[in-house]
Amino acid sequence: MDLTNHFLIAMPSMQDPNFDRTVVYVCEHSDKGAMGVVINRPTELTLARLFDKIDLRLEIAPWRDEPVLYGGPVQTERGFVLHAPAGNYGSTLNVADDIGLTTSKDVLEDLAGGKGPKQLLVTLGYAGWAAGQLEHELAHNGWLSVAADVHVIFDTPANARFDAALKLLGVDPRHLSSQPGHA
């Protein structure tokens, strides 16, 4: 099953502290592995401070005060911009018809110039899985998966995305157990 454009919701039994109570938006999934970005773990770094570090000025509210997110434990020094619409940027992976993941600076330059995507999240780092690793974690109850909802990504506050993603499955987070099992 291709999980591109799906959410992975960490189960309470998740042993890796990098993913405790996280929602990962899967940007690519194939027999070679998977990659995505955590969408619900803000850092203390704001977009304005990030832009200063890369010699761009961001003076547009409300973007200035938006937090940069922890995207995952891989390449934490590298920026990833999840945005809608997908646009036409130098290094963009088209994840869905309306969502792109860009690693090139041109999307940030457009944002600084007031021409950027209408919706975006900026992360440092990403989550990655080798061939078969994600399938193994799913089989061992590490994650729940559900088709992604653009409103959860861009319209829901970061601290509410975990519960919102679970709600897509009809699951109340208070009913999750750390004990694995199969029905």
Token readout for 67 is: 């937090």
Give the chain's end-to-end CA distance (angstroms, integer): 20
**pLDDT tens-digit map of 107-165:** 988 888 888 899 999 999 999 999 999 999 999 989 999 999 999 999 999 999 999 99
**pLDDT tens-digit map of 67-81:** 999 999 999 999 999
- In this structure, is residue 180 part of a structural domain? no
Per the structure, the complete domain to which residue 166 belongs is given by: 6-175
- In this structure, is residue 137 part of a structural domain? yes
- In this structure, is residue 183 part of a structural domain? no
Give the Cα separation of 152 and 164 in Å (integer).
6
* Lowest mean pLDDT segment, chosen from 36-50, 147-161, 162-176: 162-176
* Number of domains present in the structure of the chain: 1
- In this structure, is residue 1 part of a structural domain? no
How many CB atoms neighbour CB 176 within 10 A? 15
Average pLDDT value over all residues in the chain: 90
Q: Which residue in this structure is represented by tokens 């646009």?
A: 87
- In this structure, is residue 41 part of a structural domain? yes
Q: What is the 3-state secondary structure (H, E, C) of 53-83?
A: HCCCCCCCCCHHHCEEEECCCEEEEEEEEEE
* pLDDT value, residue 175: 63
Give the Cα separation of 24 and 27 in Å (integer).
9
CATH code at 70?
Answer: 3.40.1740.10
